[in-house]
């Protein structure tokens, strides 16, 4: 075999390493999403106290614009563009589920494809580290 061609064994090792890296990253995102799922979607009752894993303030002034089949969420960034956010949402009265990750510095997200007959609640999490985050108040539709 010529010395310039990679050996089949090395290709397999590189593929296995890449797959393992992707699985570890996916597990971290799913773990954080499961923390969100544990919260119940209820109408907001006041300011949310940061959880014990928090290291910074939660996103502030969460608002939504309800255009029936789409909802645009906006919030203030307590980190001045240093941390990413996770958007969680679900039907009113059910657990919130992770819907999206938003890059640092962005303070809005649009949810598409919603039912015009269902009420929804949303929250935004500032992700300070894999196990350190702060959750905003919830906003809910009233249809």
State how far Cα 113 lies from the chain centre: 18
| Helix (H) / strand (E) containing 89 | strand 85-91
Instruction: Give the pLDDT confidence of 17-44 residue by residue, as tens digits.
Output: 555 555 545 455 555 554 545 544 445 5
Instruction: Give the pLDDT confidence of 68-106 residue by residue, as tens digits.
Output: 899 999 999 999 999 999 999 999 999 999 999 999 999
Average pLDDT over all residues of the chain = 79
The span from the first CA to the last CA of the chain, in angstroms, equals 69
- Determine contact, residues 91/114, Cβ cutoff 8 Å: no
- CATH for 35-140 is 2.60.40.10
pTM: 0.63
What are the b/e assignments for 45-61, b being 16+ CB within 10 Å?
Answer: eeebebeeebebebbee
pLDDT score at 50: 47
């Amino acid at each position: 075999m010529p010395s310039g061609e990679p050996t089949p064994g090395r290709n397999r090792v590189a593929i296995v390493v890449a797959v393992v890296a992707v699985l570890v990253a996916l597990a971290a995102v799913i773990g954080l999403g499961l923390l969100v799922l544990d919260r119940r979607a209820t109408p907001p009752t006041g300011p949310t106290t940061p959880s014990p894993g928090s290291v910074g303030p939660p996103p502030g002034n969460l608002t939504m614009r309800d255009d029936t089949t789409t909802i645009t969420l906006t919030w203030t960034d307590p980190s001045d563009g240093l941390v990413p956010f996770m958007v969680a949402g679900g039907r009113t009265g059910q657990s919130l589920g992770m819907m999206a990750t938003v890059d640092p510095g962005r303070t809005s997200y649009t949810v598409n494809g919603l039912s015009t007959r269902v009420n929804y609640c949303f929250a935004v999490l500032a992700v300070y580290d894999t196990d350190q985050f702060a959750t905003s108040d919830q906003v809910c539709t009233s249809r």
